[in-house]
Amino acid sequence: MISIFTDTFFYLCSATEGKLQIKTMKQINKILIIRFRQIGDSILATSLCSTLKATFPEAEIHFLLNANIAPLYQGHPHIDKIITYDKNDNKPFISYLRKTWQTVHQNKYDVIIDMRSTIRTLFFSLFSLRTPFRIGYKKKYTHFLLSHSIDIKEKQRTLDMVQQDLLLAQPLSALKEIQYTNKFSLFLTEEEKMNFRNYMEHEGIDFNKPVVLIGVTTKLAHKMWNKEYMKDVLNRILTIHENLQLIFNYAPGHEENEAKEMYEELGRHKNIKINIQASSLRELAALCSNCSFYFGNEGGTRHMVQALQIPSFAIYSPSASKKTWLPANSVTASGICVDDVLSKEEQKNKSKEECYNAITPDKVFQQLNDMLKRL
């Protein structure tokens, strides 16, 4: 560890060298994109990976993630290397510092893009002061370690998350015109998709009829739409669209209990499949890819279906802005949020729960039904 701080002190003394290199750089060889976080955040970040790959096709794109979500990005054509951090890498803190130092010194990046820009992730820049481009978001504590700080405070109100992510590529326009794409994507092999399709058929799915994946519950209670409202909408779907097959999607634990309770309350309807479940994130992606549509609570699975070009309609809680978390893409992705049914003035006099309950079954089904008719 002594060598880490010795080298860092040396780089602090010679940090101006990085600024000089920008003027003389002829080629970008390696780019590190620091993402971490959860499924939805990382899926949307693939638009930045694709943008940088299109702009610098000869460069290696390294994507840094939490280990539990990393398998989702295997085989992505715009990601050359996946770097993971698990619990053992993060604690104790000295382990985190050691791995971070090793990562940047073994790879000698030309560009580091810190999509988190937290005190913790800034150690990548601290250990890389010779890296010409150390890009992140402008915060009180980022000024001295980043070579380029992007101020999004005002832009957050008008830009979706993909657009915000792509702002981080702007400083590289000093070298080359940026080839922007707002498309975020996941990739599966044909074998993965077919294996899960066979499993679904074995469980009773008829692919001659539309298959709708239902996000009936959520990991976080405050993001879950009113249970009675959800049951109301599902009853309407089952009554009006008799040809649709519904698959309840849930995680083990309380989500599974809530989903099975809903299944019982809906009379164990023959068109609901309750036991088709994925045992990994890649299997979940394969499940999504074999469905015709997604409906339900907003979350990681909804981002997944959009990345796989599957149409969707999601319900956004007051804590998840639709403007931010429903990016424009090449498929039909829609949703409803509190701002669609209540003015800002009306929201001031209501609790978050009251605001969420203002999204009624009638308002949801009116929009959802038009989309289901097209399946």
Domains and CATH numbers, the chain: 2-174 (3.40.50.2000), 190-372 (3.40.50.2000)
What pLDDT was estimated at residue 157?
76
pLDDT at site 14: 45
Looking at residues 163-186, what average pLDDT do you find?
A: 96
**Mean pLDDT computed over 15-32:** 67
Q: Which of 91, 116, 140 is nearest to 32 (CA)?
A: 116
Q: Tens of pLDDT along 141-174?
A: 888 899 999 998 877 778 999 999 999 999 999 9
- pTM comes to 0.91
User: Whole-angstrom Cα distance, residue 98 to residue 106?
Assistant: 12
Q: Which of 64, 31, 60, 68 is nearest to 45 (CA)?
A: 64
The answer on pLDDT for 17 being more than 50 is no
Residue 37 has a pLDDT of 81
**Three-state SS across the chain?**
CHHHHHHHHHHHHCCHHHHHHHHHCCCCCEEEEECCCCHHHHHHHHHHHHHHHHHCCCCEEEEEEECCCHHHHCCCCCCCEEEEECHHHHCCHHHHHHHHHHHHHHHCCCEEEECCCCCCCCHHHHCCCCCCEEEEECCCCCCCCCCEEECCCCHHHCCCHHHHHHHHHHHHHHCCCCCCCCCCCCCCCHHHHHHHHHHHHHCCCCCCCCEEEEECCCCCHHHCCCHHHHHHHHHHHHHHCCCCEEEEECCCCHHHHHHHHHHHHCCCCCCEECCCCCCCHHHHHHHHHCCCEEEEECCHHHHHHHHCCCCEEEECCCCCCHHHHCCCCCCCEEEECHHHCCCHHHHHCCCHHHHHHCCCHHHHHHHHHHHHCCC
pLDDT confidence tier of residue 24, bands split at 50, 70 and 90 = low
* Cα 133 off chain centre by: 24
The pLDDT tens digits for 113-128 are: 999 999 999 999 999 9
Structure tokens at 129: 């002061």
Assess whether pLDDT exceeds 70 at residue 235.
yes
Q: Beta strand pairing status for 211-215 and 245-249? A: parallel
Instruction: Give the model confidence (pLDDT) of 347-368 as tens digits.
Output: 999 999 999 999 999 999 999 9
**Mean pLDDT across 100-106:** 95
Mean pLDDT along residues 52-78? 97
User: Which range has the worst mean pLDDT, 151-165, 221-235, 286-300?
Assistant: 151-165
Is 70 exceeded by the pLDDT of residue 22? Answer: no
